[in-house]
Amino acid sequence: MSLPSTMKAIKILPDHKAGLKDVPVPKLRDGYVLCKVKAVALNPTDWKHIDFVGKEGSTVGVDFSGVVEEVGSGVTKTWKKGDRIAGFVHGGNEAEPEDGAFGEYCVVKGDIAFKIPDSMSFEDAASLNTGVITCGQALYQSLGLPLPGSGKYGGYLLVYGGSTATGTLAIQYGVLSGAKVVATASKHNWPLLKSLGAEEVFDYNDPECSKKIRAHTSDTLTLALDCIAEGNSPKICEEAISTKGGAITYLLPTQHTRSDVENKQTLGYTITGEEFNKFGKHFPASQEDFEHAKMFWALSEKLFHAGQLTPHPVEARKGGLDGVFGGLQDFRDGKVSGKKLVYAI
């Protein structure tokens, strides 16, 4: 069956609104794979692009799973029509407004996507992508943990925001890298995080959270990943780090006060190896980030196929692309905790 010429997709509209529009199916570019979308997952970045960051005319959404339709030239990973695929796409990209997951079709960089295990649903697969690329950048490129299977770290790692979709994966990657993982979360999420390998979990609402983390780690904690990077999280992280210093990777631009603690930041969109503009700033193409992501996707695919990584709990909602708007509003209203919102398309 030939591909349709048009599809439905969620586009950014004037005045930072979003709506479902009839638009052309994305063009297949070199290095990309064209996919029929089967499921999409929601992230805070989606509504923030609509409300603040994105430009009118851009397609929204970063996390998807689906089926391969066509493979572009320059893709080194082996794909064929009909393969089950999941990946991260640069939604809200003013340089390529057709990019974005929230449509009936999407294009994804073929070398930084993964083949879905037969035992994994499209919904679970869609939930993984942002978490995987963030862990690759934050834990390994930024903090320098040994890759799973290549060595054991042995020290403590703090995952702040352990019950987020990135946090639950970060705990598991940390354990696979030999770290003793401690995390923060609301108390109702503690059993989940301990089941994934966290040695101890702390309540971020506790005024003595930092003090308790430092005591538990005997003042030896030197590495932290802050999956929230808002409110009190930077303060809690830096006060938990050892008096000898260390490093914290934040997922948003953040200031902290300790000069003996490195302030590191990552931005997932750089993994495509293409230049873009965001937050009023120009980001040059980073071949280094693309090559690291390519390696890390291949490693992670093996770990998922071997059953060594567990997807974040998903809440599969009905309504398809129309339903996505309600999920985005729930994110705005702070109603999403410990679950990844996923919609079958």
Mean pLDDT across the chain, nearest whole number?
97
Beta strands 246-250 and 261-265: pairing type?
Answer: parallel
Q: Tell me the per-residue pLDDT of 67-104, one tens digit each, with 9 for 90 and over.
A: 999 999 999 999 999 999 999 999 999 999 999 999 99
- In sequence order, the β-bridge partners of residue 102 are none
Q: Tell me the per-residue pLDDT of 12-56, one tens digit each, with 9 for 90 and over.
A: 999 999 999 999 999 999 999 999 999 999 999 999 999 999 999
* DSSP characters over 237-284: HHHHS-TT-EEEEESS------TTEEEEE--GGGGG---EEETTEEE-
Q: Tell me the per-residue pLDDT of 203-247, one tens digit each, with 9 for 90 and over.
A: 999 999 999 999 999 999 999 999 999 999 999 999 999 999 999
* Tokens (6 digits) for 250: 């934040």
Burial state string for 233-256 with b = 16 or more CB within 10 A and e = fewer than 16: bbebbbbbbbeeebbbbbbbebeb
Beta strands 281-283 and 105-109: pairing type?
Answer: unpaired
Whole-angstrom distance, CA of residue 156 vs CA of residue 221: 5
Class of domain 6-128+274-344: alpha beta
Q: Tell me the per-residue pLDDT of 249-293, one tens digit each, with 9 for 90 and over.
A: 999 889 889 999 999 999 999 999 999 999 889 999 999 999 999
pLDDT of 337 reads: 86
The total of other beta-carbon atoms located within 10 Å of residue 288's CB is 11
- What residue ranges of the chain are covered by domains with CATH 3.90.180.10? 6-128+274-344
For 134, residues 6+ apart whose C-beta sits below 8 A from its C-beta are: 166, 170, 227, 251, 266, 268
- What residue ranges of the chain are covered by domains with CATH 3.40.50.720? 132-266
Q: How confident is the model at residue 338 (pLDDT cuts 50, 70, 90)?
A: confident
Q: Which CATH number fits domain 132-266: 3.40.190.10, 3.40.47.40, 3.40.50.720, 3.40.50.620?
A: 3.40.50.720
pLDDT of 96 reads: 96
pLDDT of 245 reads: 98
% pLDDT > 90, the chain:
97
Residue 1: pLDDT over 80: no
- Packed helices 209-216 and 233-240: angle between N→C axes, nearest 10 degrees: 30
Whole-angstrom distance, CA of residue 169 vs CA of residue 171: 5
Whole-angstrom distance, CA of residue 249 vs CA of residue 224: 6
